[in-house]
Structure 1
Amino acid sequence: MNQGDRIFHPGHGIGIVESILKKSFSGEDKTKFVKLYFERDDLTWLVRANDLPSNIRFPMSAQEAKKIIKHVKSWQGKLSEQWKTRSTANQAAIDKGDPYGYAEMVKGLSVMQEENPLSMTDRRHLNLGIKFLCEELSSALGKTQERVQQLIEEASRSKPTAA
């Protein structure tokens, strides 16, 4: 990780490595710190380089973003009918920050929403999944978040293709 690198964190979205520095605190020898900035939350975060969360990663490429949209369209899985199991799995996907997990959650909840109204928790998970996908995909594809949301919604409504 270098100064100027763009990064992704599932809770804060796209960020940038503002600086890498060495500091001493409480008599501790100089320790390497990374200063991160996340525009969505207007958050600056100074964290020890050794303590960077494992779910921070580099943002996806345009090619990967196109694969995610295709994955939304073609995914034929089904979310659990049990609300507690579904909620736990959806929250785990959000916490992990895996865009394929977001894609499957968004597709599954969108299909469920076509059949019945979603619970408050399901609606929250759907909205978060769309928000996180839109932020990262729009950055990768150079499109507005509104346009990317349209692409995701179109892919979510489409009937799965035969394998």
Structure 2
Amino acid sequence: MLNVGDKVVYPMHGAGVIEGIEECEVMGKSKNYYILMMPFGGMKVMIPMDNVENIGLREVITASDVEKVVEVFKNEPEQTTGSWNRRFNANLLKIKSGSIYDVAEVVRNLILQDRSKKISTGERRLLDTAKQILVSELVFACDKDASTVEAWVYDLLDKNTPGD
């Protein structure tokens, strides 16, 4: 059971804080909703409490789990084959999974791919989304601001040179 004040991740949107629990009537039925404040963009999201498992809402990773994210950035990028839209769909599925490790893989793969061979506009938008989701969670997990976390991610990737 999640509580007010908990830091959670909403797949495809990023991390936020549960600000409250409200009862709302929708189509004649009364339901309880978590009110989630998303720091990036200042968006408020209402999530039905009885649908949390299906949505994939989960708590932010712990500080000790951050090391596993670092390992993802140190690993070799996946060599994807096929057209850009096949890569796009595979990356989109990883982001939708809600796993920070999958999102970190997408960020790593797309940034490193963009350095060697420019990525498509669609993949660039996907990278921006994945980066926002990743950074939003790491901000809470590391207790740092967004620009510091993003610089740290790029620093880790600068050290990831395939073949080293």
Per the normalisation by structure 2, the TM-score is 0.82
Q: Does 2:116 correspond to 1:99?
A: no
1:96-135, aligned counterparts within 5 Å? Answer: 96-135=97-136
CA contact (8 A) 1:70 1:155 kept: no
Whole-Å separation in 1 of the counterparts to 2:57 and 2:42: 17
Query: How big is the shift at 1:128?
Result: 2.0
Whole-Å separation in 2 of the counterparts to 1:2 and 1:36: 11
Number of aligned residues = 161
Q: RMSD over aligned Cα, in angstroms? A: 2.4
Partner AA of 1:72 in structure 2: F
**Structure 1 residues 161, 60: CA separation in 2 closer, same or farther (over 3 Å shift)?**
farther
Which 5+ residue runs of structure 2 have no aligned equivalent?
A: none
Q: Secondary structure at the match of 2:59?
A: coil
Whole-Å separation in 2 of the counterparts to 1:138 and 1:2: 20
**Structure 1 residues 161, 3: CA separation in 2 closer, same or farther (over 3 Å shift)?**
farther
**Structure 1 residues 99, 25: CA separation in 2 closer, same or farther (over 3 Å shift)?**
closer
CA contact (8 A) 2:15 2:133 kept: no
Name the counterpart of 2:42: 42
When Rg is computed on C-alpha atoms for both structures, the one with the higher figure is 1
Per the normalisation by structure 1, the TM-score is 0.82
Whole-Å separation in 1 of the counterparts to 2:28 and 2:146: 46
Whole-Å separation in 2 of the counterparts to 1:15 and 1:145: 13
Q: Does 2:161 correspond to 1:159?
A: yes
